[in-house]
Structure formats: structure tokens, C-alpha cells
Structure 1
Amino acid sequence: MATGATAAAIVLAGGSGTRFGSGHNKVYLPLAGRSVIAWSINTLLAIPEVGPLVLVVRPSDRELAEWVLDREVEHGGVELVHGGSTRQESELCGLRHLASRIDTDEVDIVLIHDGARPLLSQNLASAVVHAARVSGGAIPGLPRHDLVQVSPDGQQLAGAAPGHLITVQTPQGFRAGPLLAAYEQAAREDFVGTDTASCVERFTDLRTHWIAGEPANFKITYTHDLLVAERVLADLGRHQLS
């Protein structure tokens, strides 16, 4: 690792409001005085381990994203990039934007975070960076004990779910060089993974380490999730912009 190498963060803001029931991109909806997307951006920018932050947006949302960055983000320097038609294409757009800094080892770790998870903590993001540096890759998640199997026809219960299962969260963090190479290989082979880790697993020999996630780091998916997030922010004493 070169002297001064640092982590970079890619925040994805390309989601829609389909399940949320909104005609607008849910990451720009208001949450306790600022947009959903602004909360995690501010958290990541406050972490000493994180240098460049790339916000990947839909071209149609660019003006809205610029408005949020100008008025709701507490530090400058966020780099805006247009994403693709899928999550994986958008991740690759962000990685290609960082490619020159990855090639020179200026960036050694990349965090990829879903902008619809506004309650990311600094401690969790720092833990992902540390674990990724040690093992090559890290994913936060919460254990699940409430799942069962069903029969192939879906009509009957078939016992407890096998093994140890977790609910995966973001940010997911990986060594930057292998991550970029994996995404480029996936693009050449038209491979579409379920998340960042699936591309890494298929095209690298990195070991991905699971670390404990946080209950508050949930995804805004439905309308009531915003109400829950507001209550959590109030309980944590995190205040809206003045």
C-alpha cells in the first residue's frame, strides 16, 4: 500500500420510489430537515479514513443532487457521476471514476453504500474499512433467526432455515484494485450479481469477512420507514439543519 493511501466511498443514489409509493427518487425525500441521501454522505465525509466520495446519480436527478450537496452537505468535495441502468452498472461507473487513483494506490479500499440507508454510523463505516484492509473484503450484517424453509411447492413449512443466515447491509468494503478488476470482468462476461460481494466472490480470491451490522442501518423502502428513521434520529440526538 502506498504512503497516504486512503479509502474512497461510492454512494449510490439511483433508486426509484416504486415500492415506496412515490413518483420521485426516495433518496431525495425529506428526513428530519434534510434529504435522506444527505445523512449518509455527511457521515462518510466525517470519517478520517475516507478521502474521495463519489455520488452516483441518475442524469435526470443531477440538478436535485447538486441542490442537496450545496445546501445539506456539511463538507465539500463530493464528486458527481452519472450511473447506469442497473445497480451494478452504476457501481462500475463509480469505480471507473476512481480508476486512476486506484491504479496509483492513492485509493486502496472502496466502500460502496446504498444512499437509501441514511442512518449509517461512523463507527460501522470505520469498522468496514479496517476489516477490508485486514481480510480483503468486509460486509456488515445482522443475524437472522426468524426464517424457515418451505416445501418446493410453497405450500408447507419444511423446518428451520439451514446454517447461519444474516441480513446484509452496506457499506460493503473491498480492496480497490481487485474490486475494479472484478467489475470490469463482470461487464465483459455480462455477469450480473446480487450485490457487490457476489462479483468479488466470482472474479477474485479475496476473503470477505462478516462484521456485525447495526439495527439502525436499515434501508428506507416503505413510507413508514421514514417515520421510524425520524424517531431513531431523535433518540440519537442527531438534529436537523438550522
Structure 2
Amino acid sequence: MKYTVVLPAAGSGKRMKADKNKLLLELFDKPIFVYTLEVFQRDPDCEAIWLAVKEEERPLMEKFVKEYDIAKVKGFAVGGTERQDSVRACLDMIPPCDVVLVHDAARPFIDSEVIGRLVKEAADSGAAIAGVRVKDTIKKAESGIITETVERENLWVIQTPQAFKYSLIKEAATAASEAGFLGTDESMLVERLGHPVKIIESNYENVKMTTPDDLIYGKAILESRRQEEQQ
């Protein structure tokens, strides 16, 4: 099943304690977002990649896309103040298609097998998102005092990609914009329409590069994968 992927890439380096967009930070001499692009460039089912970027960073992003020969990048939208604005800017540009994936450009370790299951489920039911089961004990607290230990059996940590039928995510994004509703992810916009969203189990390597500690973890993942390839 073919799909188009949207990558919001107009973030900052605030939580990364960097003086530039964290996506431009390097892991073994390659920008983080290039690793992400390469996953979709290699996937034969990916038809097109669209990025939402800061206007002032577009020339640099285009330079890396050309340098690393990411031929599936079809266009750049100007990213908005919020992630939701950036995604909608891309949705307004891309031609109609069957399935749209929205993926954090700062998640460079997504597994192609997970992508395939997401796309299939979205094509069948309309909406599917990646997630992993909560491993730690979760407690609710008020003023630093525990009030409840939460049963974790039904708790998930949500990731991206999030996959949707094109018509559904367009409807959800438009409805949210018209109502002035700001969601934390695209799934929330679809949930708001009353449409069910299926969770597809992902893996714990699909981490988002957000803080300096994540860079250490990211390098360890790359080292492990390189060793596996050499065996």
C-alpha cells in the first residue's frame, strides 16, 4: 500500500539545550533529520515526502536533501507556530492520496515493518498510530503526595508515525482549525470527530531526539545496528 509522509521539521533546540534546530544536530556526522528521511527514501511504498520547515532554514534543509539524494522529497511548507499548524500547511499542499503518515522528523529510528502495519491498518479502518506499552509503575499525585497507583495494563506511550486516510485527516485538521482547537497530536484531532483510532505496537528504539540524553541513546542505537550489519 502506497503512502505519503508529512514531516514537521520546524522545531527548536530549546530542550536539547542547543542554539539551533535540534534536527540539524549530528549523530556521527549526519543531521538527525537526514536519518529519518532515509528511512522513507528506502521504503518502496513511500511515494512522497513533504516537510514543514522554518522559512529561514529552508535553504539549509534543501541543501541536505540534495546532498544525501533524498529524491522523494516533493516539497516544503512553511512551518507554523504550533506543530498542528505545520502539519496542516503540508496537508494543504500535498495532492490527494490514499494514506498520509505524519511522523516526527526527530524520530530517526522508526522500523519499516511498523510503518507497513500502520499503513495497512489506516487503509482498512481509517486511522492507526504507533505506540509502546508503559513499562514503569505509574502513580497520580497531588502536591507531591501519591493519590493513586494507575493500572498500567491499558496504558500506552504514543509515538509516531500516525497514519490516516487522506480524506479523514484533512477533515479532522480543517475542523480543528475552524473550531480553534489545538491537539497534542494528529490522533487527537481524529478522535475529536468520533472516529476510532487503532494502536499498532511499535518498539522502544523509536525514541524522539528531544534532550541531550537522547543523543547518547541515539548513538548507541546506531552503533548496535552497525555491528549487526557487519555480522
Q: 1:207 to 1:158 in 2, by over 3 A?
A: closer
- Contact conserved, 1:55 with 1:81, CA < 8 A, in 2? yes
Match of 1:134 in 2: 124
Q: 1:238 to 1:114 in 2, by over 3 A?
A: farther
The answer to whether the aligner puts 1:47 opposite 2:36 as a matched pair is no
Identical aligned residues as a percent = 26
Cα offset, 1:70, TM superposition: 1.4
Matches within 5 A, 1:89-108: 89-98=85-94, 101-102=95-96, 107-108=97-98
Q: What runs of 5+ residues in structure 1 fail to find an aligned partner?
A: none
Match of 1:30 in 2: 26
Count residues in correspondence. Answer: 228
Q: One-letter code of the match for 1:86?
A: E
Cα separation, 1, equivalents of 2:227 and 2:177? 40
Cα separation, 1, equivalents of 2:161 and 2:206? 10
Between stretches 143-152 and 118-127, larger displacement belongs to 143-152
Q: What runs of 5+ residues in structure 2 fail to find an aligned partner?
A: none
Query: Deviations along 1:6-44, whole A, 9 cap, x unmatched?
Result: 311001111111111001000011112311001111111
- Contact conserved, 2:137 with 2:152, CA < 8 A, in 1? no
The answer to whether the aligner puts 1:227 opposite 2:223 as a matched pair is no
Cα separation, 2, equivalents of 1:162 and 1:32? 37
Matches within 5 A, 1:193-204: 193-203=183-193
The answer to whether the aligner puts 1:56 opposite 2:52 as a matched pair is yes
- Contact conserved, 2:3 with 2:101, CA < 8 A, in 1? yes
- Contact conserved, 2:13 with 2:21, CA < 8 A, in 1? yes
- Contact conserved, 1:133 with 1:175, CA < 8 A, in 2? yes
- Contact conserved, 1:183 with 1:199, CA < 8 A, in 2? yes
Structure 1 moving runs of 4+ over 4 Å: none
1:71 to 67, 72, 83: 67
C-alpha RMSD over aligned residues: 1.9
1:88 to 75, 84, 91: 84
Cα separation, 2, equivalents of 1:197 and 1:154? 31
Query: Deviations along 1:77-129, whole A, 9 cap, x unmatched?
Result: 4421111111000010011011xx22xxxx11000000111111222212211
Cα separation, 1, equivalents of 2:220 and 2:141? 39
Between stretches 230-239 and 129-138, larger displacement belongs to 230-239
